[in-house]
Amino acid sequence: MPLPVRRSVRTVLTYLALFVAIILSLFPLFWLFLTSIKPKSLTFAIPPAWIFPPTLENYEEVFLYGPFSQYFLNSLIVALGTTAIAITVGTLAAYAFARFTFRGSQLFQMLVLVPQIIPPITIIIPLFILFRSINMIDRTPSLIFTYLSFTIPLSIWMMIGFIRDVPRELEEAALIDGASRWQVMWKVVFPLVAPGLAATAILCFIYSWNEFLYAVILTGRNAKTVPVAITGFITNRDILWGRIAASGSMVLLPVLVFALSVQRYLVRGLSKGAVKG
Amino acid sequence: MLIAPALALMVAVLAYPLSYSFWLSFHEWTLRGFRAGVPLVWLDNYLELFGEFEFWRSMRVTILFMVGAITLEFILGMALALLLNVGIRGRGLIRALILLPMMATNVVIGLGWRMMYNFDAGIINWFLSLVGIPPVTWLSSVDMALPSVIIVDVWNTTSFVALILLAGLQTIPDDPLEAARIDGASHWQAFYHITLPLLRPTILVALLWRIIDTFRIFDVVFTLTGGGPASATEVVSLYAYRNGFQKFDLGYASAISYAMIAMILLVAFILFRLIGRSEQIF
């Protein structure tokens, strides 16, 4: 074969393989969504129904039977609360690590990796005993507190990288002009790391929003988050697939939108070692 | 100080629980007995653990899962990374799309796949029937349950492996590859003798993270199979969960979790030594 032809065949095959990879990646998510808008009589139709009059009955049922909107609110409160605390505290610490070296800073930076390594069960057993003894089981603040164990290290980790990218000279110039350290942080550094800060916040939000093990142990009827509530559609008699698909699609929607919006930073953070929580 | 709030919170949510559960692993804490006191039992929890058939079974399941999932993820991930490494248009979009499974909520992943794995009416068996393959008892047979869990994990995290390997590939200079090409090496030879050795640190880093993460897997297995059928998919974190939060034997569960930590540290130590320069972890 002449070279140009061979090259274009290769290009076509490359795109074809990538196309298959994309289809395989997205199909399960697409299928879940399709099931959620199917009439219940067609959920398990064989051959599968691809075209049908879409319905919202599954979504209606999710909210009709049980306080599902309450669970959504819980998830939102926990995820937002965790994120707000984690990025505030984490960014301050990250600034210190990025700009100063002090005794133990190396060690402390290594410790940030600890929650990525230990099994979550190690943390939840003592916290469960603690919350039980002070009557804080099934309350959202307990969950927020627990989620800080992985969101603070994550935000320190990501923000160190972003702050290091800000040229020191900019800060030194501001310091010479008489600005205080705080002013330098607020007026020089933060505006420049704003995109990184947003990406970090979104990651903290996604991880808290998705979290299951801590939530299933620490919450009951009141503070239940959506991932825990979804598993409640598996009853002793039946698995309510329509409702699982509908509530699952609703949980996934913000995650997918956020993930797409920060994917550039995500790739960067991930290849630096911050892994799936 | 700037790090004071972070430090205080980290002590409260990490250092305190970690030391408490270490303490607890040498004590007896059961729902029935804890009000009367938490007696010191020295190494009893650990001795019970090492003599317990169910613990070793869960370790076996975990290691089978780990080896199966990581092998497939690295083969497919490497292929994907090589495909993405040639200059193609739309790479950003493709990368974003294949990343979505990784960010998706684990509980939803588990339940969504459970629906697709359904024996009578699941979409996967229907696809198989189109090409003439008889239906597979995915989650309900002892033999197929673990492979089914592995497939879901491969779907879930191959893109993570691919992206780390891609980042590594992009740091490899073109010169040695070109030189090899001029000397008449085939694509495979160039890949095997040049790309792969240069990629070694990246591969080891990715391997370290995947080992740690597969060792700790919980959510997906919990929602997909709950550990069944007949404990065929009961990974070690499910075993710890069952003892801790169904039997409420928290001293014993703490001992399980510390046995897990010891094993993770051992593997991490070995891989750190292999990687050599530790800063490449980050």
Which residues have CB under 8 Å from A58's CB, separation 6+?
A36, A37, A38, A40, A242, A243, A245, A246
Which residues in chain A are closer than 8 Å to B116, comparing Cβ atoms? 28, 31
Q: Which residues 98-137 in chain A show a CB within 8 A of chain B?
A: 108, 111, 114-130
| Measured CA distances, B251 to A118, A119, B12, B243, B244 (Å) | 17, 15, 20, 9, 8
**Residue B214 in tokens:** 């597969």
Domain of A7, in residue numbers: 1-28
A89 interfaces chain B, CB cutoff of 8 Å: yes
Per-residue pLDDT, averaged over A63-77, amounts to 92
When pLDDT is cut at 50, 70 and 90, the band that residue A271 belongs to is low
Q: What is the pLDDT of residue A269?
A: 61
Q: Are residues A242 and A119 in the same domain?
A: yes
Which residues in chain B are closer than 8 Å to A47, comparing Cβ atoms? 126
Q: Are residues A156 and A67 in the same domain?
A: yes
Q: What is the pLDDT of residue A107?
A: 78
A224 or B11: which carries more pLDDT confidence?
A224
What are the two backbone dihedrals, phi and then psi, of residue B40, each rounded to the nearest 5 degrees?
-75, 125
Which residues in chain B are closer than 8 Å to A152, comparing Cβ atoms? 6, 9-10, 13
A56 membership: H or E segment, kind and range: none
Q: Contact at 8 Å (CB) between B6 and A88?
A: no
Which residues have CB under 8 Å from B10's CB, separation 6+?
A111, A152, A153
Q: Would you give the distance in Å from CA B127 to the centre of its chain?
A: 28
A158-181: per-residue pLDDT in tens?
A: 898 889 888 888 888 888 888 888
Q: Are residues A3 and A115 in the same domain?
A: no
Q: Are residues A23 and A153 in the same domain?
A: no
Q: Are residues A12 and A62 in the same domain?
A: no
In a domain, residue A43? The reply is: no
What are the two backbone dihedrals, phi and then psi, of residue A191, each rounded to the nearest 5 degrees?
-60, -35
Transcribe chain B into DSSP letters. --SHHHHHHHIIIIIHHHHHHHHHTTB--BTTTGGG---B-TTHHHHHHHT-HHHHHHHHHHHHHHHHHHHHHHHHHHHHHHHHHS--TTHHHHHHHHHHHHHS-HHHHHHHHHHHT-TTT-HHHHHHHHTTPPP--TTTSHHHHHHHHHHHHHHHHHHHHHHHHHHHHTTS-SHHHHHHHHTT--HHHHIIIIIHHHHHHHHHHHHHHHHHHHHT--HHHHHHTTT-STTTT--HHHHHHHHHHTS-BHHHHHHHHHHHHHHHHHHHHHHHHHH--GGGG-
A197-216: per-residue pLDDT in tens?
A: 999 999 999 999 999 999 99
CATH of the domain at A68: 1.10.3720.10
Cβ neighbours of B39 (radius 10 Å): 11
Q: How many domains does chain A have?
A: 2
Is residue A274's pLDDT more than 60?
A: no
- Residue B6: closest CA among A91, A110, A84, A208: A91
Find the CB nearest B13 among A95, A149, A276: A149
∠ CA B209-B210-B211, nearest 5°, is 95
Q: Which residues 23-62 in chain A show a CB within 8 A of chain B?
A: 24-26, 28-29, 31-32, 35, 44-48
Task: Write down the domain spans for chain B.
Answer: 37-281
In a domain, residue A247? The reply is: yes
- Residue B69: closest CA among B272, B207, B182, B239: B207
Q: To the nearest 10°, the Cα dihedral for A265, A271, A277, B1? A: -70
Predicted complex ipTM exceeds 0.85: yes
Tell me if A93 and B2 make a contact (CB, 8 A cut-off). Answer: yes
For residue A165, the SS3 value is: coil
| Measured CA distances, A87 to A106, A163, A199 (Å) | 21, 13, 11
Is residue A276's pLDDT more than 70?
A: no
Q: What is the pLDDT of residue A268?
A: 65
Is residue A88's pLDDT more than 60?
A: yes
Which residues in chain B are closer than 8 Å to A108, comparing Cβ atoms? 3, 7
B173-200: per-residue pLDDT in tens?
A: 888 888 888 888 888 888 888 889 889 8
Q: Are residues A6 and A133 in the same domain?
A: no
What are the two backbone dihedrals, phi and then psi, of residue B26, each rounded to the nearest 5 degrees?
-105, 10
Tell me if B97 and A212 make a contact (CB, 8 A cut-off). Answer: no
For residue A92, the SS3 value is: helix
Interface test with B, best of A234, A271, A272 (most B CBs within 10 A): A271
In a domain, residue A170? The reply is: yes
Tell me if A89 and B5 make a contact (CB, 8 A cut-off). Answer: yes
Q: Are residues A88 and A146 in the same domain?
A: yes
Q: Are residues A229 and A92 in the same domain?
A: yes
B266 interfaces chain A, CB cutoff of 8 Å: no
Could you read off the pLDDT tens digit of each residue along chain B, which spans 282 residues?
788 888 888 888 899 999 999 999 999 888 877 777 788 888 889 999 999 999 999 999 999 999 999 999 999 999 999 999 887 788 888 888 998 999 999 999 999 999 999 998 899 999 999 999 999 999 999 999 999 999 999 999 999 899 889 988 888 888 888 888 888 888 888 888 888 988 988 898 889 889 999 999 999 999 999 998 999 999 999 999 999 999 999 999 999 999 999 999 999 888 878 876 544 444
Tell me if B213 and A276 make a contact (CB, 8 A cut-off). Answer: yes
Average pLDDT of chain A? Answer: 88
% of chain A surpassing 70 pLDDT: 95
In whole angstroms, what is the distance from residue A127 CA to residue A143 CA? Answer: 10
Q: Would you give the distance in Å from CA A50 to the centre of its chain?
A: 31
Q: What is the CATH number of domain B37-281?
A: 1.10.3720.10
Query: How many CA atoms are closer than 13 Å to the CA of A239, on its beta-carbon side?
Result: 13
In whole angstroms, what is the distance from residue B88 CA to residue B107 CA? Answer: 34
Is residue A273's pLDDT more than 50?
A: no
When pLDDT is cut at 50, 70 and 90, the band that residue A262 belongs to is confident
To the nearest whole Å, the CA of A177 is away from the closest chain B CA by: 23
Q: What is the pLDDT of residue A275?
A: 35
Q: What is the pLDDT of residue A35?
A: 94
Q: Are residues A113 and A184 in the same domain?
A: yes
Per-residue pLDDT, averaged over A247-262, amounts to 92
**Residue A236 in tokens:** 């002793």
Which residues have CB under 8 Å from B243's CB, separation 6+?
B249, B252, B253, B256
